[in-house]
Amino acid sequence: MWPDDRLANLLGIEHPIIQAPMAGASTPEMAAAVANSGCLGSLGCALMSPEQYQQTFNATRALTNGALNMNFFCHAEPGDDEDRNKRAVASLQPFYDELDLGEMPDAKPVHFPFDMEMAEAVIATNPAVVSFHFGLPDADIVERLKETGLTILSSATTAAEARDLAARGCDAIIAQGWEAGGHHGYYLEGNDAAVGTMALVPQLVDEVDVPVIAAGGIADGRGIAASFALGAAGVQIGTAFLTTRETGIPPVHQEVLLKSQGSDTATTRAFSGRPARGVINRYIREMMAEEMNLPDFPIMNTLSGPLRKTSGAAGSPDFVAMWSGQAVGLNRQSDVTSLVKRLISETEIVFRKLGNEI
């Protein structure tokens, strides 16, 4: 049924649909159910140590023999700006006092960019695919991954990033539009541009020879069919999976998503130091004035971590990073297998209506 089989062939899957890797939200059960449905199941591993990675991979592999994608961050090391750190600590202190959280952690990163040690851990587990957000690792690491036969993906938010990723060995490129939930994957200087998926996908298709994967605001068969019409060879979908039985997000985040619309979301730097899209809540609103004064990613993640965790556990939306894309109004409660089946059958109906002319 698919008008383009390049991505499915590259990834060894039946349907060119990728469940987005979502650090803190994707689970072994989610990725395995997607892989068992003939699509690419992904795990967001950016916050894991090599040991945690190994355990998570094994837990997933125990549930599926299908294609898996393990995902990591390649962010630049943060600067150490004492003034910004102090200012952020002062802004967060009233919230810490209100939630009785005790001492704030030191303003230091607690998760790190992908390195050779993690590359060796990935190679030892041999997933089909390894993907990255915020660019690619250094050339020697890319070379090492590629010589073992791993397929490499990364996100581009502009034509310049797509060209750069293709030149550095990416096998397919995710065109991540501004509608997308979670972190905006831009990484080239000055590229924090707000290009939507509809405009971005055909421009990247014209820019690079490798398959382009559309991401951002895709949540049903209409969005998937539209992506193929724009020249994409596949789609990557995140937010729609957040309200499945297999989700890793707290119940309060799920409840909020089920009653939200795209207009309830905004991008904010307040949780991590980098722009990411989520449902607007008290924390985003009250930190708005500080947006441009925060410590670099991921230092801000360290500082906001206890607030996010405690708020989620207490069932309050006030301080949770409720990541969400603009298509959130289409979210339904489901399980992963039913969601994937629905996405495929809806797409087939749209293709048929259009007479397979895409």
Ligand X SMILES: Cc1cc2nc3c(=O)[nH]c(=O)nc-3n(C[C@H](O)[C@H](O)[C@H](O)COP(=O)(O)O)c2cc1C
The residue within the footprint of ligand X, chosen from 25, 162, 175, 340 (CB under 6 A), is: 25
Which long-range contacts does 150-154 make (Cβ < 8 Å, 24+ apart)?
A: 150/122, 150/123, 150/126, 151/10, 151/11, 153/69, 153/129, 153/213, 154/74, 154/185
Stretch that binds ligand X, among 20-28, 74-82, 88-96, 339-347 (CB under 6 A): 20-28
Residues contacting 241, CB < 8 A, separation 6+? 19, 20, 22, 25, 26, 30, 34, 247, 336, 339
Q: Give the x-and-dash track for 140-159 against ligand X (CB under 6 A).
A: ---------------x----
User: CB of 114: closest distance to ligand X in angstroms?
Assistant: 11
Nearer to ligand X, 238 or 295 (CB): 238
Check residue 23 for interaction with ligand X (CB under 6 A): yes
Check residue 275 for interaction with ligand X (CB under 6 A): no
The residue within the footprint of ligand X, chosen from 29, 179, 220, 296 (CB under 6 A), is: 179
Check residue 182 for interaction with ligand X (CB under 6 A): yes
User: CB of 131: closest distance to ligand X in angstroms?
Assistant: 6
Cα separation, 7 vs 16, in Å, equals 6
Check residue 237 for interaction with ligand X (CB under 6 A): yes
The residue within the footprint of ligand X, chosen from 133, 269, 274, 308 (CB under 6 A), is: 133
Contact 315, 292 (CB under 8 A): no
User: CB of 93: closest distance to ligand X in angstroms?
Assistant: 27
Q: Write down how long the chain is.
A: 358
**Binding positions for ligand X, 191-230, rule CB under 6 A:** 215-218
Check residue 165 for interaction with ligand X (CB under 6 A): no
Stretch that binds ligand X, among 18-26, 104-112, 144-152, 188-196 (CB under 6 A): 18-26
Check residue 306 for interaction with ligand X (CB under 6 A): no
Q: What phi, psi does 238 have (nearest 5°)?
A: -110, -70
Stretch that binds ligand X, among 7-15, 117-125, 186-194, 232-240 (CB under 6 A): 232-240
Nearer to ligand X, 70 or 299 (CB): 70
Contact 174, 157 (CB under 8 A): no
Cα separation, 17 vs 4, in Å, equals 12
Check residue 340 for interaction with ligand X (CB under 6 A): no
User: CB of 308: closest distance to ligand X in angstroms?
Assistant: 12
Residues facing 129 on adjacent strands: 69, 151
Cα separation, 295 vs 78, in Å, equals 8
Per-residue burial over 105-116, b = 16 or more CB atoms within 10 Å of its CB, e = otherwise: eebebeebbbee
User: CB of 10: closest distance to ligand X in angstroms?
Assistant: 18
Locate tokens 């030892």: which residue? 124
**Residue 274: C-alpha distances to residues 152, 160, 294 (Å):** 23, 20, 9
- The contact set with ligand X (CB under 6 A) reads 20-23, 25, 44, 46, 71, 133, 155, 176, 179-183, 215-218, 236-239, 323, 325, 327
